[in-house]
Amino acid sequence: MDSSELELQRAAAVAEAMDDIRRIESDLGVTGAGVEAIRDRLVRLSELRALFPADQFLAPASEDAKSSYLYRLAQDADDRFALYLQSSAGQVTTPAHNHTTWAVVVGFEGQELNKFYTRTTDGGIEKTHEHLVEYGTGVAMLPDDLHSIHIDGSALNFHCYGLALERLESREYHSPTTNEWKIFSSVSGIREGRTNLQNC
């Protein structure tokens, strides 16, 4: 199909998925069952592989200061229900952090290791388990859940949140060097991945 037809089909598929995700949250709330249902819906979106060609969601070049780009696929007018495609190359690592909203990560290409933690009584963290996100799998998190991301190589993944990343101003992360909790800077530099045909 030509690029305009592909964009039409991608916009329609993304809009349908986001409609379902809004309905899931309305029906099930911000609960374990709710975020798992959202994860499963995004796994279904990831099966439409031809709609998300890698050459339209390029990862940073080797000389780039960044190791990943975020492409915005959907975002409501009030900044809720935001969907991104993260395109990574090389090594991507984050400290353990929360999101202050629900969050879902679903694999598309490559692998993204997610490690999960609990807070300890001395203000530190303890790893509880890990999950390798790849095609056909994903992870679902409630607002206070803690995880870290580890990518080594190329990866393309869906990231979906109950509130846009630019609005997440009180996310906490754990500093392993000082054993302190600090505030993550708001995410910036997100690339536009929506088409003119999308309303969200």
- Long-range interactions of 10-16: CB distance < 8 A, separation 24+: 10/48, 10/51, 10/52, 10/195, 11/194, 11/195, 11/197, 11/198, 13/45, 13/48, 13/51, 14/45, 14/73, 14/74, 14/83, 14/198, 15/74, 15/198, 15/199, 15/200
58 secondary structure, DSSP code: P
CA distance 140 to 59: 24
- pLDDT reported for residue 196: 63
How does residue 200 score in pLDDT terms, banded at 50, 70 and 90? very low
Which CATH superfamily, name and number, covers 3-192? Jelly Rolls (2.60.120.10)
Share of the chain above pLDDT 70, in %: 98
Question: What's the mean pLDDT in 184-190?
Answer: 85
Helix (H, G, I), strand (E, B) or coil at 153: coil
Please indicate, yes or no, whether the overall pTM of this predicted structure exceeds 0.85.
Answer: yes
Residues in the chain: 200
Question: What's the mean pLDDT in 57-83?
Answer: 93
Contacts of 43 (CB under 8 A, 6+ apart): 106, 136, 137, 138
Question: What's the mean pLDDT in 34-60?
Answer: 96
